[in-house]
Amino acid sequence: MTMVISNCFAKRGASHLWQCSRAPHRRIPAILPAHRTYVTVFGYTQAKALVYSAYGQPKDVLSLHRYSVSPAYGRTLNVKLLASPINPADINQIEGVYPSKPPFTQLLGTSTPSAVAGNEGLCEVISVGQEVLNFKPGDRAIFLAPGFGTWRTHAVVLDEQSLRGVPSDIPILSAATVSVNPCTGYRLLTDFWGEGGLQQAAINGEWVIQNGANSGVGRAVIQMAKIWNLKTINVVRGNRSPTELSNLRNDLRDLGANEVITDEELSSEEIKGKIAYLTGGRGVGLGLNCVGGRATTDMARTLRHSGTMVTYGAMARQPITIPASLFIFKNLSLRGFWISKWAGEKVEERGKMLDEIFEWIRKGWLKDAPMEEVKWTEESKEEELVEAVSKAGQGTGAKKIFVFQEN
């Protein structure tokens, strides 16, 4: 019996914990903490993934599947996950209400065809095939390919084009959550100004209004707007205790928010005067909507002539209702944005954007949204992991993120 050890471990001369669910195995106690993993006597890495074979509520359809990953060869790379967030879109995808639907396959050896849940995450390369050019073991990377399935301990990546390297000085949680929220915020503030673009908007000191301002995208928008000399009016839900609301206001102001108002304030009679006062009579140039319903109609009314409102989410699960007069006489434009679609089309632009965002993270200009870590170890039970998914979005409002650890 020949033991094939994947590149990364062979190079570093580490000894490992060998384990195989089917073949006899023996434990080797000495462990290199950063690279400890489970590898069979055949060199297979023992991996686990949260998979689903039918659409439904996460607690009903998600299961933890164990499988083994063969060593990297040719153009493939083997990676282990470091962290992977639970985004609202991931839940929608499991529910089957998201337009991007990964195909159900039997690649992982599930009894019925399945897909791995999760779409965003940071990984570390653990072994590469001989035809891989730009990655070596130990490199960190995020997933560029949409619908890759990131809620798993290890993965085989078929093509290095699916990965984007991340500098080693970017904190794990920041890097693992960079590709959805900060990238969405960046595009929302960049792509919708029309002639003259963001540059002219920055020169004019344009105002932006956004609802769901304390979301991950909302916090990115606040910080990027400040970097680019735009000013923000930030709408948050008012159904909080006075202390919570006060804390949230301070929290967002600390990030650079110019104004924080509640949805009730946005609906009030006085808002017209307030917006005029805040913007020095200029009005708001851009509205960013992730809510829908009444809050969105109210926001549209605050926009100046020829202003634009971009919808990128639908937290209230209500449609967007706009009086015809706002289109005809105020020449309002309503647009939409979906980062997955954009990212698939603008590969080069995406690379430049990520470089810029990493630089901001390094400088401390772009701070993470609050996150609640969910540890995923070899000992983690299916119930714990599925429960974390089911309860994502509940409680503190902090984004839940899987953080993968050996034990």
Judged by CB under 8 A, the residue of 24, 99, 103, 242 near its own copies is 99
Q: Which stretch binds its own copies (CB under 8 A): 7-15, 128-136, 256-264, 325-333?
A: 325-333
Question: Which one of 18-26, 152-160, 163-171, 334-342 is the stretch in contact with its own copies (CB under 8 A)?
Answer: 334-342
Out of 186, 207, 312, 402, name the contact with its own copies by CB under 8 A. 312
CB atoms within 10 A of CB 340: 16
Regarding 292 and contact with its own copies (CB under 8 A), the answer is yes
Span of 53-61, 132-140, 206-214, 324-332 interacting with its own copies by CB under 8 A: 324-332
Residue 182 CB partners (closer than 8 Å, separation 6+): 220, 224, 357, 366
232-291: contacts with its own copies (CB under 8 A): 289
Which is the catalytic residue, given 67, 98, 186, 312?
Answer: 98
Specify whether the CB–CB gap between 135 and 128 falls below 8 A.
Answer: yes
Q: Which residue lies nearer to its own copies by CB, 45 or 119?
A: 119
In the numeric block, the tokens 């060869």 are attached to: 73
Q: Rank residues 9 and 312 by Cβ distance to its own copies and give the closer one.
A: 312
Instruction: Choose among 72, 287, 85, 302: nearest CA to 193.
Output: 287
Asked if 96 interacts with its own copies (CB under 8 A), we say no
| Count of Cβ atoms closer than 10 Å to residue 36 Cβ | 17
**Residues 6+ away with beta carbon under 8 Å from 294:** 263, 267, 318
Backbone dihedral angles phi then psi of residue 98, each to the nearest 5 degrees: -110, 140
Joined together, the tokens standing for residue 211 give 């609802």
Nearer to its own copies, 22 or 317 (CB): 317
DSSP string of 196-239?
THHHHHHHHT-EEEEESTTSHHHHHHHHHHHHTT-EEEEEE---
Part in contact with its own copies (CB under 8 A); list of ranges 169-177, 212-220, 305-313, 364-372: 305-313
Task: Please say if 98 is a catalytic residue.
Answer: yes
Written as six digits, the tokens of 160 are 């290095």
Query: If DSSP codes are grouped into helix, strand and coil, which group holds residue 304?
Result: strand
**195 makes contact with its own copies (CB under 8 A):** no
345 in contact with its own copies (CB under 8 A): no
Interface with its own copies, residue 196, by CB under 8 A: no
Determine if 32 is a binding residue for its own copies (CB under 8 A): no
- Rounded to a whole number of angstroms, the minimum distance from the CB of residue 194 to its own copies is 12
Binding site for its own copies (CB under 8 A): 99, 289, 292, 297, 310-314, 319-338, 341
